[in-house]
Amino acid sequence: MSQAMEYYFSPLACSFAGHVLIREAGLEIAMRPVSLRRKETDDGRAFADISAKSQVPVLKFGDGRILTENSAVLQVLADMAPERLYLPDRSTPAGQSTLEWVNYVATEVHKLSLYPVFSDGVPSEVKRWARENLEKKLAFATARLSRSRYLAGDTFTIADAYFGWALMLTLRAGLWKPADGLLAYWNRLLERPAFTGAIEVEEELFEKFA
């Protein structure tokens, strides 16, 4: 028997991007918080039993199959959205630019820069390098955003949902001050009820599930 789709996320982790998209698109997907510290789901199951990677996000389909990797999950969620608003046709320049920016955020901003900055056990020299690198990566995106409202053009896409998470994290940690060229973009994100709604929900869940 087919079951409801589920989205496994951890409050304020990179799975925030998919949460925003689910809200933006009004998708009927059950939200399942996961504690990454305890590696446990909200109903006390071992997260490794859901996904051997034990990393968020995880999208679970009605037939029990799972999909992991943020870039892939975001594209699949976008494909389910009405009128494919958040990922233009991949054969168009706008669609290709969206994929380019999603991968930039996943590799250059998230894994190469944010991951070492926020992970325990990373040598301080590596953390310093990662912080400097983060500044360069944010500067590149800032230059782009001086020419368009959103990363891939004038409409909000999955790349913005992901980059918005990165900005939220750096802002909370005091690594980015809202005074540079990103401020107008950040305020534009905050005008979106799906974005602020996801922040509100995840902040409330943070203590319990971080």
Ligand X SMILES: N[C@@H](CCC(=O)N[C@@H](CS)C(=O)NCC(=O)O)C(=O)O
Site residues for ligand X per CB under 6 A: 13-14, 36, 54-56, 68-70, 106
Q: Closest distance between ligand X and the C-beta of residue 147, in Å?
A: 27
Give least dist CB 86 to ligand X, A: 17
Give the nearest distance from C-beta 82 to ligand X in angstroms. Answer: 25
The dihedral region occupied by 39, where left means phi > 0, alpha psi between -120 and 50, and beta the remainder, is left
Measured from the CB of residue 70, what is the shortest distance to ligand X in angstroms? 4
Sheet holding 58-60, edge to edge: 40-41, 30-35, 6-9, 58-60, 66-68
Looking at the Cβ atoms of 54 and 155, the one nearer to ligand X is 54
Closest CB to ligand X among residues 1, 32: 32
| 145/169 with CB nearer ligand X | 169
SS3 167: helix
Pairing of strands 6-9, 30-35: parallel
What minimum distance in Å lies between the beta carbon of 192 and ligand X? 21
Q: CA 94, CA 60: separation in Å to the nearest integer?
A: 28
Locate 100 and state its tokens: 């380019």
Q: Which is nearer to ligand X, 13 or 194 (CB)?
A: 13
| Residue 108 C-beta: closest distance to ligand X, Å | 13
- Please identify, using beta-carbon distances, which residue of 106 and 199 lies nearer to ligand X: 106
Q: Are 5 and 184 in contact (CB under 8 A)?
A: no
| Residue whose entry in the numeric block shows the structure tokens 């500067």 | 139
Residue closer to ligand X, measured from CB, 31 or 36: 36
Residues 6 or more apart in contact with residue 163 via CB below 8 angstroms: 101, 105, 109, 141, 151
